Structure 1
Amino acid sequence: MLNRLRPVPRPRTGALLVSAATLLSAGALGAAAPAHAEDASRVTAAVLPLDGTRQEPVLYGADTPYDTASIIKVDILATALLQAQDAGRSLTARERGWAEPMIRESDNAAANALWRQIGRAPGLAAANKRLGLTETQGGPGAKWGLTRTTASDQIRLLRAVFDPPKQGRAALSEQSRSYLRGLMNNVDDAQAWGVSAAGSASGTALKNGWLQRSTTGLWDVNSVGRITVGGHPYLVAVLSDGNASMSDGVSLVQRTARTAVSSAAGA
């Protein structure tokens, strides 16, 4: 059973002061690397207004692939929900016990369990074909955090959850969409940063991801979700890599989200 839903709060500085040891998952995400890595950051954003006629997102930066880190957890749960629908059932109590901390707290052990259950990358690929994703490739073996995706593909996934087709049958049922939206709208306070910085305190749903690459010591920092700006809803995906620190990546993602949403509002 879900806890009572509450709006995602605005980002707090204290939420970013998390020890790096708590942010890494051996196997799924990778090991820590030497500090003092040189910043070589890049960033891409995609923004789609939901109350207009636009079908493709406004892009900010090159729409090239990035590591997902923990934003893949939305896709993992969408896949699990789709597989449960195919079997004519809802998620089991055990599956819900994995899903809630995976989304709300970004729990990696829960993600490991659901990643195995969905059939890892092949299971993800089969679901993504039905969800409309075309540029996402599941990570090798147990390494779901090394799934590769683009900002525009993340908008396609968000549309499958928040803005299903007006005609024809949506891949995810309303029950499945509502369940996933509810979890994204109820993330833990420590997770409340990212694209939410570009919107109001209410009406926000999001999932963030962060990963320090063992090969370079640089950080992937990503954020995806639905926000409300001036009473208008937007789907937003911001992907970045090459950040010298997690806090640098969070700042870059939040600045980019604000700029990209402002640009999309005027497009």
Structure 2
Amino acid sequence: MEPVTEPAVDRDALLSSAMGKVTVPSGAKVSAAVLDLDSGDSAAYGDSAFDTASIVKVDILATLLLQAQDAGRHLTATEKAYATKMIENSDNTSASELWDIIGKASGLDAANKRFGLTGTEGGDGALWGLTQTTAADQLTLLQQVFGDDSKLSEASRTYLQGLMRTVESDQRWGVSAAADGSAFALKNGWLARSTTGLWDVNSIGRVTVAGTDYLVAVLSKGTVSQARGISLVEAAAKAAVSSFTGADASASASASQ
């Protein structure tokens, strides 16, 4: 008998269907990407570029760690203090200090080229929060942080993962909405654009659902408040994971208008 070949699962189609059940407020946009760390299967929805806001802080620290590896050194006590405040508390002053240390956009872009990011461009001058990225690129970055096939050493990955697991309590929203209990590590970003008053709200991280680890990146822009942005991002994160688990996320995957 001929061996039976299992039909390939169209993960992008499943994610697109799941995202179609997410209520997106008028004028807003959302993009998502998800990867099953066990199987290596991934899916992406939307390819637009978004402002990173504070999720770029993961990229800044990953860049610093890569540069330190290249130099054969450990992070200094000062760098570690900045890194802790930048990831756990989303402290902007600490991010600006490390942004300068890595060489600003040029340093970030050089590291991202090695990490495999193709659609991310560092913000001009001191404006690290206006770095442009895609959900697919953030998924690639998360693979560098949480995957074994990484330019970052095991020690560097463990360090960054640890900080993402211990973000302060009032920032434990976003992709964590898709996790089982407290089984997540994340970094969120939020920014009200001065030109429009509309919000960028993003969330990236790893979540564990029914014993399986997923990397999830959700980017959004154009909501009228941070709260509505959070609602949208959490709905999208649940929908993204549901495209792998088969759970019906439609009941909870809606964002307030």
TM-score (norm 2): 0.84
Q: Structure 2: any 5+ residue segments left out of the alignment? A: 1-24, 248-257
Counterpart CA distance in 1 for 2:89 and 2:158 is 18
The structure 2 residue matched to 1:64, chosen from 29, 48, 51, is 48
The structure 2 residue matched to 1:230, chosen from 210, 226, 237, is 210
Q: Are 1:42 and 2:29 an aligned pair?
A: yes
The structure 2 residue matched to 1:101, chosen from 85, 89, 93, is 85
> Which one-letter code corresponds to 1:44 in the other structure?
S
Q: Structure 1: any 5+ residue segments left out of the alignment? A: 1-37
- 1:216 is paired with a residue whose SS is coil
Moved more, 156-165 or 65-74: 156-165
Counterpart CA distance in 1 for 2:38 and 2:171 is 27
Count how many residue pairs are aligned between Structure 1 and Structure 2.
223
| Cα deviation, residue 40, structure 1 | 1.6
Counterpart CA distance in 1 for 2:131 and 2:211 is 34
Counterpart CA distance in 2 for 1:203 and 1:238 is 18
Deviations 1:152-171 (A, max 9, x none): 00000000010132xxxx31
The structure 2 residue matched to 1:131, chosen from 90, 111, 115, is 115
Note the 1:1-267 alignment, pairs <5 A. 40-54=27-41, 57-60=42-45, 62-165=46-149, 170-266=150-246
Counterpart CA distance in 1 for 2:164 and 2:181 is 14
> Which one-letter code corresponds to 2:29 in the other structure?
R
Give RMSD over aligned pairs. Answer: 1.3
CA contact (8 A) 1:219 1:244 kept: yes
Q: Structure 1 vs Structure 2: percent identity of aligned residues?
A: 61
Counterpart CA distance in 2 for 1:164 and 1:220 is 31
TM-score (norm 1): 0.81
| Cα deviation, residue 48, structure 1 | 0.5
Structure 1 partner of 2:254: none
Counterpart CA distance in 1 for 2:162 and 2:179 is 18
| Cα deviation, residue 175, structure 1 | 0.6
TM superposition outliers: structure 1 runs of 4+ over 6 Å: none
Counterpart CA distance in 1 for 2:190 and 2:88 is 15
| Cα deviation, residue 203, structure 1 | 2.6
